[in-house]
Structure 1
Amino acid sequence: MLRIFAVFFVLLVSVLTHAAEVKPTNKMTHVFMAGDSTMSIKEVKDYPETGWGVPFSYFFDEHLVVDNRARNGRSTRTFKSEGRWQSIMDELSSDDYVFIQFGHNDQSEHKKDRYTPPKDFQANLTGFVADVRSKGAEPILLTPITRRYFNEQGVIEPTHGVYADLVRDVAREQKVTLLDMEAITREYFQAMGDDLSALRFMHIAADLHPNYPIGVSDDTHLNHLGAREVAQLVLTELKRQQHPLASRLRTPDPKHLKR
């Protein structure tokens, strides 16, 4: 009897030891999002304004978490000075990702609380890339999404100037994945024209929404529809580049596959 117990004990210890050595096969991956109001989660008082990072977070499987740290009004300078960038670095692990999309506020020279000169903007982006890589994670740079400024010829005017180009420069120099959302969204909304594209931005007449009693006409910020479509454009570009994130999508409900 003692011999049988001894054999059983040895087998049990062996099984438990082996189990302890087995590494989990479904490691949780985090996608952190660093950016401004065009990406961020909104307060209820701002609805229906929506950052594209909100619908984007629902695209992926249960082993990938999108952690949206973007905030309204932030530039690369203020995102650092407020400790928001460091908070990402404190939680970042190897094999995670960080989406980095700035420019709207960095270029606001008349807003001294957020303005970042081009040279500093470039240095901040380069530093962000180095920080992420030092953690064994992957940075992904995005140019800022377009503003909806049509000229008299019905063409959307590029409004980010050197800032969008600096994102492209840093991506090229540092060999970082670039999602050129300035060009992609400008082409997308341009094809819609003035009237249809306005339905994707914050255009609300007076007395229609309690958050905007006098109405709003905003060609920078997206509403629910615009945010969803921009998030889909981001995903489409990841697929086009055959980025590994494009293989981490949630499994669709079978009933959604029926035609």
Structure 2
Amino acid sequence: MNNSIVGVKSAMRSTVSKHEQLQKAKFVEKASDKTMRYADFLAYVENEIKQSKVMATFNYNFLCFKNDGVFQLNRAIQEVFGLVAAMKGESSPSNDEEEAVNTIEVILANGERVKVPYGDIALEELGKDSKISISYNTDQHRLYVKGKCQQKYSTLIDDIIDRTKWLLANESIYRGQALEITDPSEPSIMDLSNIHSEMMILSKQTKYELQPLESRILHPEICIEKGIPLKFGALLEGPYGCGKKYFPNPCIA
């Protein structure tokens, strides 16, 4: 198993351990209170047991591409719980041998196609009937993550969401790829294998005027470090056949 994943699992599960240690400390404090009657202490214990099983709801949403968000969320969940089980869709066809589950197909940068759970995901480790429900708003381009779990595990859900956001920012399936965005929710990765490397000769003035664009393409990390926005555009003007349409191709490649 990847060492980074082991580290993430250990860090996330320590959240539960910290919660348990805090609860134990509270029990010791109550038990050590000489003014508390035994009956009151038993009542306190019974109430704590009930509270530990209370189901809490959660509701998150964040901006992302649909397939990237669903893929990275499932990665974060699997890093904590291993394989997850998508619940059977009510309208999904099924038979006695195999039950269909809700999934979507995600195409990775290397062309690999993977199916990841989408919709309702069962997480019995977080209490009976615990689940995460995943949906996507195509108008707002936001991924919605709702569900319920036992109260004591709610901080674990917070960590899963934080991990998902980190994966989106640092290990997006679209990272370093040229995208064709016809659908703002689901871009497609462009195939640049047929773009040839013919040299294009530019005037000194054109090179100078395109420096801001070139800097953002070649050195995005420096721009981010210095607070320079990566979003930048250039309007190409010139007569027919001068290379306006061809120019962006070698820049992308």
What interval of TM-score do these two structures reach, taking the shorter chain for normalisation? under 0.3
Tell me the TM-score normalised to structure 1 length. 0.24
